[in-house]
Structure 1
């Protein structure tokens, strides 16, 4: 919480109308508890004002009707002595600021990734309570990978969150499968829309058709971290300047067993190989993370790291597994083959490779034979170029080594 300020009349006039908020008893009780834990005179700060126990009015033996003012409310330059009832009335008039404090200090709690993420969702570190509550009344939408998260506020100042696939933005809740337990997300992220296993949870292959329509702050955070594990944590570390990045060479040096073969890539050709790996696996079309690891501390890769909102701090298991396979394939001795291809057939082979690499095969219509990767055109090319054993009928220009 920033220190309270007294906005000028001009600035106050620019503030949007705050939705009417009721001060819930749990928020008021939390204020009393917080004041009880402070020394008299030590303020509890909100946006625009502060409250403290009266250091001079602490007569516990006085009759209730004669009890001195117990609290001091500092609103700009107008300190006010208040009883507990008077404090409740005063805070009710400032319920937005009080419930905002309560939401983050008591409901969300810890000064860590959960708090930072939930504040980021509503720009709590860059906008006033009045501006945020007006926006929350309409619904604040944020993107997180393939997720669309909508934050709203109730009449009691409570945050509620709708978490769904971005493709389902605007779809009525009744038309989606609704869940209320954030751990149900574990089943939603297992398979893609075609029922295939998703080995990489940050791949842009998350299936839609579901919604968590009414989560509280802690459950919303849990759902996001279940769908995209450790993304909020690493995002927070990066914001705090504490992201520990492990580059390619250091990661590969740790590999052992069947994965130890990756270490055979040396600094020369190995650097170029790692560029190919990053281009193949770490592009935005393949992973929603933003790659922050490079070849080593002193050598950046030539491939762009992507635009994802959450960082990738080290080569993941999918990258390591793929690199192991490519290391073995690249260890083969190259040979030169001759093929008789028309210029159109050469272009068609290029189109087939591009379509498979970009995952566009299913988008190509069967009747569209103008497209190089069309299924019938590809089958025709196979019929023409493959031998009876299913091998591409090329002629090696050099004999096999004995």
Structure 2
């Protein structure tokens, strides 16, 4: 490594990078679009087109373009060949510029996300390239994304389920088309349809082992639609949040009934909906919507890296059902349950609500939601019609009339 690519003592050594011809040609094209003296900046140095203006002999008006390299000291009168050699000594910084300016391009969510993956806005080229050489891992929902760099400074990305971290590629189903992810997110590991793409139920067993920057972004956005876009809007201070009341006011048809669920009782019912649907255990988004512009919900919005800007269709659909159920008048019932049976009913509800039923072993009858123990409770307490044997103690007769 030449002195030009030496790094500070507190920075790691940059891996050997060969400057590809397309990156060098991109530098020449960028300089050709600039006025002489208008520098193109890289980390630690800059390059400008001199057009012979720095030479003492100004008689040769047809002299070819010459280049100026500023890196603390100023080198002038560089030929294209000289410039190529100089930039080859600084290939890491040049390929870093090329990767984001030419390969990724636009200043938007894709560029911001790919730079975030390798902390490009906080770490130096030397630090990042050394880390990329080993592989930089980032989590995005249930995904593990690993960014690496080739000896030509090209970014490559491995996208897989976090549960498959460390699994060899040949042990997984490998894909190279990011649109193949549409099939991977449709069903959970039990073959059940996933209506909510940000639910923590993404099945594993697959990998996109060698994606370029644009394809990596497309794969992530296909698996978790609009999450990068909304994450970027939030970072830019432009996330447009639509709160509960505004969302429900837009509902019509069979969903219009949800608008009737404000009965002067505050927003307690919305807290119940949010606790049921928007907890981290149910959705990987971080809820940013509230009851309205002035009223926050009492339930925590979660810790997800990407924000939720409005109640989703799953929340609206569930709220419609609960609106109808909550319109029923409460009644009081008297049941005979032993203290252990009361605790068992509570344990069954908790296990179902938390999705832990499959974790309870058939032989573990200490668990209240154990299948055999639950069947015993049903056999003991249900009547021949399958009803929990209880006695109404409320004003049932008046309600029925």
Report the TM-score, using the length of structure 2 for normalisation.
Answer: 0.95
Alignment gaps of 5+ in structure 1: 1-6
Q: How does 1:372-383 map to 2 (within 5 A)?
A: 372-383=368-379
Whether the 8 Å CA contact 1:57–1:68 is kept in 2: the answer is: no
Whether the 8 Å CA contact 1:139–1:152 is kept in 2: the answer is: yes
Deviation at 1:40, TM superposition (A): 0.6
Helix, strand or coil: the match of 1:12? Answer: coil
Match of 2:33 among 37, 40, 47: 37
Equivalent residue for 1:132? Answer: 128
Q: How does 1:78-89 map to 2 (within 5 A)?
A: 78-89=74-85
Match of 2:50 among 16, 29, 54: 54
Q: How does 1:2-401 map to 2 (within 5 A)?
A: 12-57=8-53, 67=63, 70-266=66-262, 268-269=264-265, 271-398=267-394, 399-400=396-397, 401=400
Whether the 8 Å CA contact 1:165–1:209 is kept in 2: the answer is: yes
Could you give the per-residue CA deviations for residues 177-221 of structure 1, whole angstroms, max 9, x where no partner exists?
000000000000000000000000000000000000000000000
- The change in CA–CA distance for 1:135 and 1:77 in structure 2 (over 3 A counts) is same
Whether the 8 Å CA contact 1:162–1:212 is kept in 2: the answer is: yes
Deviation at 1:68, TM superposition (A): 5.9
Helix, strand or coil: the match of 1:148? Answer: strand
Could you give the per-residue CA deviations for residues 41-84 of structure 1, whole angstroms, max 9, x where no partner exists?
100000000000004449999699xx566100111133332000
Helix, strand or coil: the match of 2:374? Answer: helix
Q: What count of residue pairs does the alignment treat as equivalent?
A: 392
Whether the 8 Å CA contact 2:18–2:153 is kept in 1: the answer is: yes
- The change in CA–CA distance for 1:397 and 1:267 in structure 2 (over 3 A counts) is closer
Could you give the per-residue CA deviations for residues 282-332 of structure 1, whole angstroms, max 9, x where no partner exists?
000000000000000000000000000000000000000000000000000
Could you give the per-residue CA deviations for residues 211-234 of structure 1, whole angstroms, max 9, x where no partner exists?
000000000000000000000000
RMSD: 1.9
Deviation at 1:368, TM superposition (A): 0.5
Tell me how far apart the structure 1 counterparts of residues 266 and 392 of structure 2 sit (CA, whole Å). Answer: 27
Could you give the per-residue CA deviations for residues 361-390 of structure 1, whole angstroms, max 9, x where no partner exists?
010011110100000110011111111111
Whether the 8 Å CA contact 2:143–2:161 is kept in 1: the answer is: yes
Could you give the per-residue CA deviations for residues 114-133 of structure 1, whole angstroms, max 9, x where no partner exists?
00000000000000000000
Helix, strand or coil: the match of 1:13? Answer: coil
Runs of 4+ in 1 over 3 A off after TM superposition: 55-64
Alignment gaps of 5+ in structure 2: none
Report the TM-score, using the length of structure 1 for normalisation.
Answer: 0.95
